[in-house]
Structure 1
Amino acid sequence: MTSIEITPEERAELVKALTGALDPLATAVRSRRSGLSTARMWDADPVEVTLSVLAAWKVVDGEVRRLTALAAAAAGSYGANYEQLGAAWGMTRQGARKKWPEAVPRPTAARTGPSLELFGGHAELTQDQRSGGWSWTAEGADGTLGAAGDGTRYATKEEAAAHAGAFLREHVVTLP
């Protein structure tokens, strides 16, 4: 895990920017909570004034969490994994998975690809998401079922299609 360090100058600028962004929200919350106009809001009880600032920070915290989740999901959609997300946030892979459970799309075992209609039969090509290899399943025109044998994976979909096509050619309906 790596932690992101900022300089004291960067921290001072960040605090200044956040406080400046918070002020209008805190002013609106103080005015609503006290029932006083914004011009008189400082006439409210000091505890109420400080609690309204705390309430405004809670709103900001919620928005930061929402925006953080969006940033994690965006990184995941571009291919970042939970280990990378965790490293960016200064936590473990497991912590990132718990914090943003939907950020990284889960791989599916296989993705259905093109299909073939040849010699009266039908074949489906599938790509294994982990290995990237291609396989096939088919039903010949004579009703015979077939598939790439025992986990056989082909380097390209064209190679898998050629093997599926050969199977379909062997299982045509023959007329008497």
Structure 2
Amino acid sequence: MPSTGITFEERAELARALTDALNPLAAAIRSRESGVPEARMWEADPVEVTLSVLAAWKVVDTEVKRLTEIAAGTAGSYGASYEQMGAVWGITRQGARKKWPDAVPRPTATAAQAGSVLALFGGTAELVRDSRSGGWAWTAEGADGTRGAPEDHTWYATKEEAAAHAGAFLREHAADPS
């Protein structure tokens, strides 16, 4: 991706555009705080005027941060990685993940909980999750052709526990090495 640096001329134009957009906001803030009409904002005490301008920049800063989060989320929804977003923002992948923690979609719970297939000792086992209990079970076919599943329809607390039992079954029913 090309550098996002801007030229001096682009920076000057951006500053003019932002200041033009900021002035009405600063005048409205000053008018609300002081009761002075917006048209007379610049006639007030210079400290009060500049504080109104500073307050307006704070509003702009907050809005830019909000819009930046939206832009990061949009980029993530289209497949951008935290590494790519960090590179554009001039920070690390970890910095981008910390700055926009929800920008890159994580695998859905359904995908994370979906079953999987183990291929061990020449056989295969499928791990399945019970949607009602949340427990895990397995069905397998060993290399020797023996089919198996947990006895008494046992459900295991974790996917890893079910995988361990399935692996033990597959080891017992490995193909005869002779």
Alignment TM-score, normalising by the size of structure 2: 0.62
Query: What per-residue deviation string (whole Å, max 9, x for no partner) do you get for residues 110-150 of structure 1?
Result: 6289xxxxxxxxxxx7479xxxxxx66499xxxxx643679
CA distance in 2, matches of 1:38, 1:44: 11
State how 1:4-19 maps to structure 2 within 5 Å.
4-19=4-19
Structure 2's unaligned 5+ residue stretches are: 118-125, 131-136, 149-178
Whether the aligned pair in 2 keeps the contact of 1:111 and 1:127 (CA below 8 Å) is no
Supply the AA of the counterpart residue of 1:17.
A
Q: Report the counterpart of residue 67 of structure 1 in structure 2.
A: 67
The share of aligned pairs that are identical, in percent, is: 64
8 Å Cα contact 2:87/2:93 also seen in 1: yes
- Using structure 1 for the length normalisation, give the TM-score: 0.63
Q: How many residues align?
A: 131
Q: Does 1:37 align with 2:24?
A: no
Aligned to 1:76: 76
Q: Provide the rounded CA distance (Å) in 1 between the counterparts of 2:15 and 2:3.
A: 19
Q: Give 1:50's aligned residue.
A: 50
SS in 2 for 1:147: strand
8 Å Cα contact 1:137/1:148 also seen in 2: no
* Distance change (3 Å), C-alpha of 1:18 and 1:149: farther
1:101 is aligned with what amino acid? P
Structure 1's 112 and 102: CA in aligned 2 closer, same or farther, altered over 3 A? closer
In structure 1, distance between residues paired with 2:98 and 2:56: 27
- Are positions 1:147 and 2:139 aligned together? yes
Partners of 1:138 and 1:52 in 2: how far apart? 59
Match of 1:99 in 2: 99
**Alignment partners' CA distance in 2, 1:5 and 1:37:** 40
Shift of residue 13, structure 1, vs aligned partner = 1.1
Match for 1:36: what amino acid? V
Structure 2 letter corresponding to 1:44: A
Q: Matches of 2:70 and 2:105 in 1, distance apart?
A: 14
Greater relative contact order: 1 or 2 (C-alpha under 8 angstroms, separation 6 or more)?
1
Distance 2:60 2:141 in 1: 57
What RMSD in Å do the two structures reach over aligned CA positions? 3.3
Hey, what's the Cα distance between the residues in 2 that align with 1:103 and 1:85?
9
User: In structure 2, how many angstroms separate the alpha carbons of the residues matched to 1:72 and 1:38?
Assistant: 36
